[in-house]
Structure 1
Amino acid sequence: MKADIIISHAFVLSMEGPGVGMIEDGAVAIKGNKIAAVGTTREVMAKFSADECINAKNKLVMPGLIDAHIHTGLAIVRGVAQDMMNWMQEGLWPFTKFVSPADSLAGSMVNIIEGIKAGTTTFCDYDANMNDIVTNYARIGARARVAELINEIPDNIGDIPVGELYPFYSSIGERKLHNNIRLLNMWHEAENGRITCMFGPHGPDMMRLELLLEIKALAEKYDTKLHMHVAQGDREIMQMEKRYGKRSIPFLEEIGYLSNRLLAVHLTEATKEETALVAKHGASMINCAGSIGIIDGIVPPLLEFLEANGTAALGSDQAPGNNCNNMFNEMKFVSILNKVKTRNPATFTATKALRLATIESARAIGLEHEIGSLAAGKKADLLIMNLEVPSMAPIITSPIRNIVPNLVYSANGSEIESVMIDGKFIMANRNITTVDEKQAIKEMQKSAESISEKAKVELQHSKSPLLAMMRNGDL
C-alpha cells in the first residue's frame, strides 16, 4: 500500500492502551491528514511504501501535546504581574485596559508559535476577540478548539474595590454571546476540521443566571462543550455567596451545568466534596498547575478529582500568569507539585502526567476519536524529538527504560525537531514553515511598547509591588 510519509526506526510512544504504548524501532505511516499505520518498522515497511521516508533512529515520535486551556491574546502582557498578591487588579488591569483587539492578535500569534515550538499541536483557546484570534490558527495551521469569553462585566472591572459585587450589563453579555454564536457559525469544523468551537462562559460569578442558562441551552442546540472557569479563586466564591448564597459548584449543580459538556477549569477553591461532585456528573477538569502555582501559590485538587474517577487534562493558562505556554512545563509542574503536596514521590508518575497532556486531554475536550494517541485512522498530529541531546541523554532501554521520565522531568521542548499537524509539517528542523516567526515577534513588540507607554500613568497610581521593586533595582 502507498503512504505519503513513513517515519521509521524511531522510539514510538503511541499512548494507546493504559500506559504509554512504547514501540522500540517503531514506525508511523501517514496518508493525507491521517495515520495509516503504527507498528514496528518491520511491520509497517512490509505493508507500506512512500515517496518520503524519514529515518528517525534515536529519535522519539509521539502524539502532539494538547493545551486544554489557554488565553493566547494575553501573551501581549507577559511578565507584568508576577510575584505579587492581587495579581489581576494590581498587576494586569493597568496594562490590559489599553490592549486593543489588534494587540491581542499580535500577542496571540507569537503565543501559538511558542506552543508549537514546544510541541503543542492542539490549543483550547478561550479569549475575547476570538473571531479575530481564530484567524491565526487558520494561518499557521494548528489545531484549535476555540471559545469566545462571555461575561456581562465592564472593561474597567479592575477599578472596582475587592469585595464589591460586580455590576452586570446585559448589552455586554448579548454582544459577547453573539460573537460566540458567530464563531460557531463561521469556524466550527473549518480548515478541514482543524478548527472546532465551544461556548465560553467566563465564570458563574460574571453574568446573570438568565445568560448562564441561555448559553447552556445553546451548547445543547449546537451539541458542543462549555469551557468555563469554575471555583477559580476566593474572589469568585465571595461573589457567588453574596449574590446567590451558594458556592459555585453547588450552584452549578442546581442549574444543570455539571455534565459531560462542561470543561471545569481550575477548581482552585473546590472542597474535596465539591471536586467529587464535579467528577460524579461527568464534567472534565482542566488543571493549570504552573499558572495557579505562580498566581495563587495553590495546588488544585487534581488528585482528588482523579481519585473520584474524573477525566482531566492539563492547560498552560495565560502568559502573564504562567509566563510560558509550554506543556513540558505543565507536565513537570503537575507531577512535582502533587508529590510535594502529598509528601509522596510515588503520588504522581511521569506516565500519568504525559497521559494528561495527550490521550486523557483528548478525552476531556471531546476529541479522543481524532487526536491524543497514534493509531490508524486518527489525525496525523505528531512530534519528532531528538533524543541525542544533553537533556535526553543517555538513552537507556534495559533493564529500565528512561525515556518517559526524562521526557517529563528533563525535556523542555527545545528537543523537538519537527511538528506535524493534520499531516503537514508545521515546523521542520525547528523552523516554523507557515508564518514568519521573526516578523510576528516584531509586531508583538511594537504593540507591547505602545501598551506599556500608555500604562505608565496608570501604574503611578497603583499599589503594584513590582513598581516598588523596579525603583529599588530588584527587577
Structure 2
Amino acid sequence: MHADILITNGFVVTMEGKGVGMIEDGALAIKGNKILAVGKTDELKSQYNADRLIEAKNKVVMPGLVDAHIHTGLSIIRGVAQDMNDWMQKGIWPFMKHVSREDAVKGSMVNIIEGIQSGTTTFGDYDSYMTDIVHNYVKIGARARLAEMVNEMPPDISNTPVGELYPLEKSVGEEKLARNLELMEKYNESENGRITCILGPQGPDMMSHELLNEIKGLGEKYNTKLHMHVAQGDREINQMEKRYGKRSIAFLEENEFLNERLIAVHLTEATDEETEIVAKSGASMTYCAGSIGIIDGLVPPMLKFVESGGTAGLGSDQAPGNNSNNMFNEMKFAAILNKVKRGNPAVFSATLAIRSATIEAAKVLGIDHEVGSLKAGKKADIILIDLEEPSLSPVFTSPVRNIIPNLVYSARGHEVETSIIDGKVVMENRQLLTVDVKQAVREAQKAAEGIAERGREDILQADSDILAMMREEML
C-alpha cells in the first residue's frame, strides 16, 4: 500500500488508552492529511511504500501539543503585567487602549510561531480581531479552534477605578458578537477543516445578562462550544456579587450555562464545592498554570476537577503576564504547582501532564475525534522530538522508562525538531517552512514601539507595580 510519509524507528507515543500508549521502535504512515496506520516499524515497512521516509531513531514521535486557551493577539504587549497586583486594570488595559487591529495581528503571528517552535500544533485562540488573526493560521499552516472574545466593555474601561462596577455598553457587545458570528460563518471548517470556530463570551462579569442569554441561544442554534473565563479572579467574583448578588458559578448554574457546551477557563476562585458542580455538569476546564501562578499567585483546582470526574486540559493563556506560550512550560508548571499545593510529590504525574496537553486538551476543545492522539483515521498532526539533545539525555527504557518524565520536567521546547500539521511538514530541522520568522518579529517590534509611544501617558498614569519596581532599580 502507498503512503505519502512513513516515519520509522521512533519512540511512538500514541496517547491511546489510559496512559501514553508507548510503542518502542514504532512507526507511523500518513496519507493526505490523515494517519493511515500506527505500529511497529517492521510491520509498517512491510505494508507500506512511501514517497518520503522520515528516520526517527532516537526521537519521540507524538501528537502535536494542544494549547486549549491562548490569546495570541495579546502577545504584542508581552511582559508588561507580571510581578504586580491588579495585572489587568493597571497592567494590560492602559496598553490595550492603544493596540490597533493591525498591531494585534502582528503580535499574533509571532505568538503562533513561538507555539509551533515548541511543539504546539493546535491553538484554542480566543481574542479580539479574530476575523483578521485567522489569516495568520491560514498562512502558517497551524490548526486552530477560534473564538472572538465578546464583551460589553467600553474602549475607555481603563479609566474605571479599581473595584467599581464595570460600565457595560450594548453597542460594543453587538459589534463583537457580530464579529464572532462572521468568523463562524466565513471560516468554520475552512482550510480542509483545519480551522474551526466557536463562540467566545469573555466572562459573566463583562457582559449583560441579556447578551449572555443570547450567546447561550446561539450555542444551541449552532451546536457549538462556549469558550469562557469562569471564576477567573477575585475581580470577577466582586463584579458578579455587586451586579447579581451571587458568585459566578451559582449564577451560571441558575441560568443553565453549566453543560457540555461550556469550556470553563481558569476556575481560579472556585471553591471545592463549586469545582465539583462544574465538573459534574459536563462542562470542561482549561488550566493555565504559568499564567495564573504569575498574575495571581494561585493554583486553580484542576486536580479537584479531574477527581470529580471532569475533563480538563492545559492552556498557556496570555503573554503580557505569563510571558511564555510554551506547552512544555505549562506541563511542568502544572505538575510542580499541584504537588506543592497538595504537599504530595506523587500527585499530578508526568503522564497526567502530557495527556493534559494532548488528548485531554483536545477533548476540552471538542476535537478529540480528530487530534490529540495517534490513531488510524485521525488527522496527521505530529511532532518529532530529538532525544539526543542534552536536556533529554540519557534515555532509559528498562527497567524503568524516563522519556515521559523528561519531556514534562526537562524539555524546554527547542528539542522539537519537526512539526507536521494536517499531513504537511510545517517545520523541519527547527526551520519554519511557511513564514519568514525574522520578518514577523521585526514587524511586531515596530508595532510594539508604536503602542508604547501612543500609550505613554496612560501607562504612566496607571502607576503599576512594574513601574515602581523600575524606579527602584534605577536608584
Residue 6 of structure 1 aligns with which residue?
6
Alignment correspondent of 2:433: 433
Q: Tell me, yes or no, if structure 1 residue 352 matches structure 2 residue 352.
A: yes
Match of 1:50 in 2: 50
- Helix, strand or coil for the counterpart of 1:203? coil
Give the superposition deviation at 1:458.
2.1
**Alpha-carbon deviations, 1:62-110, whole Å to 9, x = none?**
0000000000000000011110101111111221111000000000000
Give the alignment of 1:83-232 within 5 angstroms.
83-232=83-232
- Look up the SS of the partner of 2:462 in the other structure: coil
Q: Percent identity?
A: 66
| Aligned-partner residue type, residue 161 of structure 1 | P
**In 2, Cα distance between the equivalents of 1:30 and 1:464?**
52
Change (3 A) 1:259 1:474: farther
Structure 2 partner of 1:388: 388
Q: State the one-letter code of the partner of 1:460.
A: L
Give the gaps of 5 or more residues in structure 1.
none
Deviation digits for residues 37-66 of structure 1 (CA, Å, limit 9, x no counterpart): 000001111111102111111111000000
C-alpha distance in structure 2 between counterparts of 1:474 and 1:187, whole Å: 49
Offset at 1:462? 2.4
> Number of residues paired by the alignment?
475
Question: Would you say 1:20 and 2:44 are equivalent positions?
Answer: no
- Residue 310 of structure 2: aligned partner: 310
CA deviations over 1:138-191 (Å, ceiling 9, x no partner): 111100000011111112212111221111111111111111110000000000
Supply the AA of the counterpart residue of 1:228: M
Match of 1:266 in 2: 266
- Residue of structure 2 equivalent to 1:408: 408
Query: Contact 1:88/1:158 (CA < 8 Å) preserved in 2?
Result: no
Cα deviation per residue 1:218-258 (whole Å; 9 max; x = unaligned)? 11111110000000011111111111111000110111100
Q: Secondary structure at the match of 2:473?
A: coil
> How far off is 1:473 after superposition?
2.6
Equivalent-residue separation in structure 2 for 1:459 and 1:325 (angstroms): 24
Q: Can you list the C-alpha shifts for 1:407-453, whole angstroms capped at 9, x where unaligned?
A: 00000110011100000011011011111111100100000111111
Which blocks of at least 5 consecutive residues in structure 2 are unaligned?
none
> 1:82 matched to which residue of 2?
82
Q: How does 1:32-71 map to 2 (within 5 A)?
A: 32-71=32-71
Distance 2:474 2:386 in 1: 38
1:72, 1:57 → 2: CA distance? 34
Sort the Cα spacing of 1:142 and 1:398 in 2 relative to 1 into closer, same or farther, 3 A: same
Q: Distance in 2 between matches of 1:426 and 1:121?
A: 10
Q: Secondary structure at 1:131's aligned position in 2?
A: helix
Give the TM-score taking structure 2 as reference length: 0.99
Aligned equivalents of 1:153, 1:77: Cα separation in 2: 19
Report the Cα distance in structure 2 between the residues aligned to 1:459 and 1:209, rounded to whole angstroms.
32
- Distance in structure 2 (CA, Å) of the matches to 1:116 and 1:128: 21
Runs of 4+ in 1 over 4 A off after TM superposition: none
Distance 1:389 1:135 in 2: 34
Q: Residue 107 of structure 1 aligns to which amino acid in structure 2?
A: G
Equivalences for residues 225-244 of structure 1 within 5 A: 225-244=225-244
TM-score, with structure 1 as normaliser: 0.99
Contact conserved, 1:6 with 1:30, CA < 8 A, in 2? yes
SS of residue paired to 1:384: strand
Contact 1:130 1:146 in 2 (8 A): yes
Alpha-carbon distance in structure 2 between the residues aligned to 1:460 and 1:37:
58
CA shift, 1:469, in A, is 2.2
1: distance between equivalents of 2:248 and 2:152? 17
Tell me the CA shift for residue 378 of structure 1. Answer: 0.3
